[in-house]
């Protein structure tokens, strides 16, 4: 099942209603991770990047603001890269690792 969502910059809003958080994360992981990757791209020119996630889970509006700095680079190698490797998106893996290298050396 593909999630229905609207994305504007670093804000991603899911329009479906989810019965529980496990289902929400299983269905929405991909667009959330891609939005996080975009936020890390912003760290090339900024010291702080944000991702805002909104969804209706268990009949409650869930809102979360995630913030990232260069001290969070392990997310690229330990969370995002393994995810994209697992779904065999090797071009995205290469993008993640290139970004990691750029941010480490910047």
Residue 90 DSSP SS3: helix
Residues 6+ apart with CB under 8 A from 67: 48, 49, 50
pTM of the model: 0.94
Q: What residues make up the domain containing 22?
A: 5-104
Number of domains in the chain: 1
Residue 16 DSSP SS3: strand
Give the integer Cα–Cα distance in Å for 84 and 33.
Answer: 9
Give the integer Cα–Cα distance in Å for 76 and 98.
Answer: 10
Is residue 5 within 8 A of residue 28, CB to CB? The reply is yes
Give the integer Cα–Cα distance in Å for 33 and 95.
Answer: 13
Task: Return the pLDDT at 55.
Answer: 97
27: how many CB neighbours lie within 10 A of its CB?
Answer: 18
What average pLDDT does this structure show over 4-21? 94
In this structure, what DSSP letter does residue 43 have? T
Give the integer Cα–Cα distance in Å for 80 and 92.
Answer: 9
Confidence of residue 81 (pLDDT cuts 50, 70, 90): very high
Task: Return the pLDDT at 42.
Answer: 96
């Amino acid at each position: 099942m593909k999630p229905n969502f609207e994305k504007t910059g670093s804000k991603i809003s899911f329009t479906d209603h989810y019965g529980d958080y496990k289902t929400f994360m299983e269905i929405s992981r991909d667009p959330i991770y891609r939005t996080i990757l975009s936020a890390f791209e912003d760290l090339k020119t900024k010291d702080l990047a944000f991702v805002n996630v909104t969804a209706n889970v268990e009949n409650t509006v869930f809102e979360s603001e995630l913030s990232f700095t260069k001290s969070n680079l392990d997310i690229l190698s330990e969370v995002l890269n393994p995810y994209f490797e697992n779904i065999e998106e090797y071009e995205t893996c290469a993008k993640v690792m290139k970004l990691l290298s750029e941010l480490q050396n910047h």
